[in-house]
Amino acid sequence: MPTDEKERNQAAWLTVPKGYPLEVLGAEFPSNVKPDHVIIRVRAVAINPVDAEMQEHDIFESDYPCILGCDASGNVFDVSETIPSTRFKEGDRVLAECNAIGSRDVTEGAFQRYVSCHADLVSKIPERISFDEASTLPLAITTAAQGLYGKEYLNLPYPTLDPPEVSRPEEKWVLIWGGDSSVGSAAIQLAAASYVNVITTASKRHHNWVGALGANAVFDHNEPDVDQQILTLINIRNFLGVLDAVGTPQARAPINSVLEQLGGGVVASVLSPPENGPKNTRTKMIKPSRIIQDDPEVAKAIFRDFLPNALKRGLVKPAPQAHVIGEGLDKIQSGIDMVKKGVMGHKVVVEID
């Protein structure tokens, strides 16, 4: 690997707990490719609420200095010898879920020019999907996949590229709360590809595009009787569970009402569950940083077996829309500041030069 390439790696560093702003400094080139990893030349990154929470509140008690960032897209630069050559090669266009949160390895934080990622969290992307668009997907896909398919979560059948030859004997339903969020949008598309019926909630102005992602029914979460509207479609016999892509108390109140009237159920939530939930209800927090350790078969089923061809066929589309705010590692702090204020209906993206 040329020395000049090593000298060119830079990152947006969080140098101390709760430090502000991020500092753009040189970073070690991840030259020794770890087993089962690929090195990616990053072309775009997306900003997530977890990035803001880590900077502002040190929620994972990180080791410092550290490099934040979970969502990246770019070109494969190097590949571990443990990975078959038929899977990835230099130059491939890919998206990647970067897992520095789980590994505590700075080479795996997305906010740098060259990043190391586990191959089972990397997927090729077709030419028609831009790097900006692709960067919006990885963490959302990982989170949704673990919640929908993990054995400790909803445990749905894996998504398929083609309809099943034999139709299911009865309709099955899943409730995805917050379909117009990043995780919710991914969950709708995955669940629809698993050929279960999807009920979701969204702001009224987002109903059309959320429905276009594959939801069978979309309800306005602001309606006071949204729980009763949802119950007109499902009963306990055909209900598979809830993926709560919002996780707030405001979201949990109508979810709990639905579950109470159904007699219980399973909830996969993006935030920690409340101490007291409805009777016969099991709620588990989704932990995407643990997917390789806890649900490795889910990661392989989605990123290796399903997603590359699903993206190529248009079965999975980048959503919400990418909102590019600029180019360069120095723009990442501005992106985090925007996310802190709250965004809906798009995802903040920074291009990496």
Compute the distance between CA of residue 247 and CA of residue 49 in angstroms, rounded to an integer.
13
Q: What share of the chain is helix, strand, coil (3-state, %, to 5)?
A: 35, 25, 40
Strands 321-327, 346-351: pairing is parallel
Compute the distance between CA of residue 223 and CA of residue 126 in angstroms, rounded to an integer.
39
- Chain segment 34-87, per-residue pLDDT in tens: 999 999 999 999 999 999 999 999 989 889 999 999 999 999 999 999 999 999
Contact assessment for residue 26 and residue 12, using Cβ atoms and an 8 Å cutoff: no
Compute the distance between CA of residue 259 and CA of residue 177 in angstroms, rounded to an integer.
13
Which stretches of the chain drop beneath a pLDDT of 70? 1-7, 165-170
Q: Which residues pair with 112 in a beta bridge?
A: 11
DSSP, residue by residue, 121-162: GEEE--TTS-HHHHTTSHHHHHHHHHHHH-TTTT-PPPP-SS
Instruction: Name the CATH architecture for the domain at 143-289.
Output: 3-Layer(aba) Sandwich (3.40)
The domain defined by 3-136+320-351 carries CATH number 3.20.20.70: no
Residue ranges, CATH 3.90.180.10, the chain: 3-136+320-351
Element (H, E) at 11: strand 10-14
Compute the distance between CA of residue 14 and CA of residue 207 in angstroms, rounded to an integer.
38
pLDDT at residue 3, rounded to an integer = 44
- Chain segment 125-151, per-residue pLDDT in tens: 999 999 999 999 999 999 999 999 999
pLDDT at residue 2, rounded to an integer = 42
pLDDT at residue 282, rounded to an integer = 93
pLDDT at residue 255, rounded to an integer = 96
Could you tell me the pTM of the whole model? 0.95
Element (H, E) at 33: none
Give the percent of the chain with pLDDT over 70: 96
Residue ranges, CATH 3.40.50.720, the chain: 143-289
